[in-house]
Amino acid sequence: MEKKIYEELGLVNTREMFKKAVDGGYAIPAYNFNNMEQLQAIMIACAETNSPVIIQVSKGARSYANETLLKHMAKGAVEMVRKDLKSNIPIVLHLDHGDSYELCVSCIESGFSSVMIDGSHLPYDENVALTKKVVEYAHQYDVTVEGELGVLAGIEDDVVAEKSTYTKPEEVIEFVQKTGVDSLAISIGTSHGANKFKPEQCTKNEDGVYIPPALRFDILQEIEEKIPGFPIVLHGSSSVPMEAVKIINENGGALKDSVGIPESQIRKATESAVCKVNIDSDGRLWMTAAIRKHFADSPADFDPRKYLGPAREALIIMYKSKNENVLGSAGKV
Ligand code: G3H
Ligand code: 13P
Ligand code: ZN
């Protein structure tokens, strides 16, 4: 085994935390970040709730933040948690939706402790071949790898899929064995972004709130029967809170037909082998809501700390609530 590059940043891979989460019937939060305030909020919320955490960046986020800066942000975040927040929570730095072998290699070389290679849009055999190649490289450095079978609707890091294709349970055993992946992202009805369902796919309750169709727990169960105890990942798991959408739209925003996955559905999923839950859009929504509200209330402000500070506070509240009330990861260190 080569040197574990990520250990220099104080990070761990996902292996042990996934095992504990599968056995314990909860899920590790995988929160996306692009900037300092999001990263601070994730770290503070997870340290204060004593939750293991996966901080993840997409290809777009990595080039937005700058790959060199990002590496030092991750290192700094770990040091802040240990030294200032006096917390020992395990922290993973993960590449979300890696789309090439070269990108995965570059991330591993710069200290990521986990990568996703997303070949879900490729024909099955090509997905297997690409995923296997990444696993063979990553495992030399003890970096864990997430693969994906089945396609989520919505935007997956520049790849837009109009329609979802559910994971085929009959493919999972062979995929896992042939590729050697450490975890598998599946498609059972979640999707990316703030418009997960079209209004015509939903029913409406008496308050006019869209109720989306339930997740395909039958497919999840079939998958679990094929690969018992194998770590399963759920992407597209934002709930798209109506309170945040309302604040955005009351303060100049124009979000339409926003529908997410009810938190009760995610909570139910975490009781199975689903041990990693990806949440990005909910953070974007709460951050936008806080900033729009701030500018509506205080139009003369122009110091970024004045509006990014409240946005960071709103994020901390949200992440804590996810850990405590939805994922069950709070106190699991
Ligand atoms: O699944 C995608 C994530 O929400 C990241 O999105 O590619 O816009 O950074 P992004
Ligand atoms: P959301 O858009 O539902 O937050 O999903 C994020 C995600 O899956 C990142 O990979
Ligand atoms: Zn995703």
- Residue 24 neighbours by CB under 8 Å, 6+ apart: 328, 332
> What is the domain partition of the chain in residue ranges?
5-327
Strand bridging mode 159-161 / 183-186: unpaired
* Structure-token match 């709070």, residue found: 330
* Structure-token match 């709103």, residue found: 314
Residue 96 designated active-site:
yes
Count other C-beta atoms under 10 Å from residue 172's C-beta: 22
Mean pLDDT across the stretch 242-259? Answer: 96
Q: Provide the token pair at 7.
A: 């250990």
> Is pLDDT of 329 > 90?
yes
> Is pLDDT of 216 > 80?
yes
- Going from the Cα of 172 to the center of ligand 3, the distance in angstroms, rounded, reads 19
Q: Provide the token pair at 234.
A: 């759920």
* Structure-token match 């896992």, residue found: 176
For 20-43, write each residue's pLDDT tens digit: 999 999 999 999 999 999 999 999
For 126-174, write each residue's pLDDT tens digit: 999 999 999 999 999 999 999 999 998 765 445 455 667 999 999 999 9
d(CA 60, CA 65): 9
Residue 161, CB-side half-sphere exposure with 13 Å CA sphere: 20
Q: Which of 116, 122, 60, 120 is nearest to 93 (CA)?
A: 116
Residue type, 127: N
CATH number for domain 5-327, candidates 3.30.70.100, 3.30.67.10, 3.20.20.70, 3.30.450.40: 3.20.20.70
> Ligand 3 (ion): which residues have CB within 5 A?
235, 278
For 85-115, write each residue's pLDDT tens digit: 999 999 999 999 999 999 999 999 999 999 9
pTM of the predicted model, to two decimals?
0.96
- Going from the Cα of 5 to the center of ligand 1, the distance in angstroms, rounded, reads 25
For 257-270, write each residue's pLDDT tens digit: 999 999 999 999 99
Mean pLDDT across the stretch 190-195? Answer: 95
